[in-house]
Each structure stands twice: as structure tokens, then as C-alpha cells.
Amino acid sequence: MSEANVVDGVVVLLHYTLKNDEGKVLDSSEGGDPLPYLHGASNIVPGLENALKGRSMGDKLDVTVSPEEGYGNRDPERVVQVPRDSFPAEATVEVGEQFVMDSGQGHPIPVWVTDVVDDEVTLDANHPLAGQALNFSIEIAGIRPATSEETTHGHPHGLTGDEAHH
Ligand code: ZN
């Protein structure tokens, strides 16, 4: 076994539990596979990526990430109202549904439906976790070199690097 540390360009496998400030579990890898990410490629929020730098296989840590280092603060200007008929007739337009809007400059923007009143739909481009502190409990379950394809793409291809590309 080599001394594996978290440095730019390695794929790190994380077991994690994410809680909000009220202690509610928002997301967890418990009972499933660890989450792979490519270190140094902004695959995960900056506050967590920074906290993992230099860590070793098997390390366990608790990390609290501020909104600034997480999904950002909520920007009220990123909320828009659109008519229901701007969606395809067959689309399910309900609170919590996610859609992708075209910014007009070719960048797709993920948006979430936060309200539906009569024929008016409220879309919020803020991430649902914007404005929240993120409390992570982390265990480093694996560290491996990235494949050249992963390095080129800037993201991991599954746990072992040979997962069929999506
Ligand atoms: Zn890829």
C-alpha cells in the first residue's frame, strides 16, 4: 500500500452524511456505495473540497460549510414567474420538480418549481440548499489515481474509473 493522500488529480471515494443546522439528514451514502469525486475539479462544494485536501485513506472528519463555501447565498433576483403554458403540456409542473432553462446564451440553468398558483409557476434558480450551512460527516473510503479519460473530462467514471460513460 502506498501512502495515499488527497491531492489534485486523484479520485476520492467518500462516505458522507449531510445534515442541516436543525440536524435533519438531507443526504447520505449510508447503506450504498461511496460517492466518487475528482479532487481539484470543483465536483463538490468548495468548502468540502478544501477540508479534504491532504487527508488520508480512512480519515473521518466533520466539516461545517458556510453558504459562501457551499451552494451560495439565496439571490432573490434568481426567482421568476412564468405562465404554465410555457411548459410542454405533458410536463408535470409541481412544487419540487426540476427543469432546465435555456439562459439564451447557450448555458442550461437548472431551476426548481417553488410555487404554482393558477396558471402562474414560480421558478427558482437558486440551489435548494443555497443559504444553508452544510454539516458533513465524512469518511474517506478510497483514494485512487484518476484515469486519463477522467482527468480529461474533469469527473470520475464510477468507483473504479471504468464505468460506462453517461
Ligand atoms: Zn466523463
Residues in the chain: 166
Ligand 1 centre to CA of 84 (Å) is 35
Ligand 1 centre to CA of 150 (Å) is 6
Ligand 1 centre to CA of 166 (Å) is 7
Ligand 1 centre to CA of 40 (Å) is 15
Domains within the chain, CATH numbers bracketed: 10-71+130-153 (3.10.50.40), 76-124 (2.40.10.330)
pTM for the whole thing? Answer: 0.82
Ligand 1 centre to CA of 109 (Å) is 20
Ligand 1 centre to CA of 37 (Å) is 12
Q: State mean pLDDT over 119-132.
A: 94
Sheet holding 98-102, edge to edge: 79-83, 120-124, 108-117, 98-102
Ligand 1 centre to CA of 164 (Å) is 9
Residue with cell 477540508: 51
Extract the runs of DSSP E, i.e. beta strands, from the chain: 10-19, 25-28, 35-38, 60-65, 79-83, 98-102, 108-117, 120-124, 134-145
Ligand 1 centre to CA of 38 (Å) is 11
In the predicted structure, residue 85 carries a pLDDT above the cut 80? yes
In the predicted structure, residue 166 carries a pLDDT above the cut 60? no
Ligand 1 centre to CA of 161 (Å) is 10
d(CA 163, CA 74): 35
Residue with cell 463555501: 69
Q: Which of 8-22, 103-117, 141-155 has the lowest mean pLDDT?
A: 103-117
Q: Which of 139, 128, 134, 114 is nearest to 22 (CA)?
A: 134
d(CA 114, CA 32): 30
Instruction: Report the 10 Å Cβ neighbour count for 10.
Output: 19
Q: What is the pLDDT of residues 87-100, one digit of tens each?
A: 999 999 999 999 99
Are 12 and 126 within 8 A, CB to CB?
A: no
In the predicted structure, residue 1 carries a pLDDT above the cut 50? no
Q: What is the mean pLDDT of the chain?
A: 94
Q: State mean pLDDT over 101-113.
A: 85
Q: Which of 85, 34, 87 is nearest to 60 (CA)?
A: 34
Ligand 1 centre to CA of 63 (Å) is 28
Query: How much of the chain exceeds pLDDT 90, in percent?
Result: 88
d(CA 99, CA 116): 14
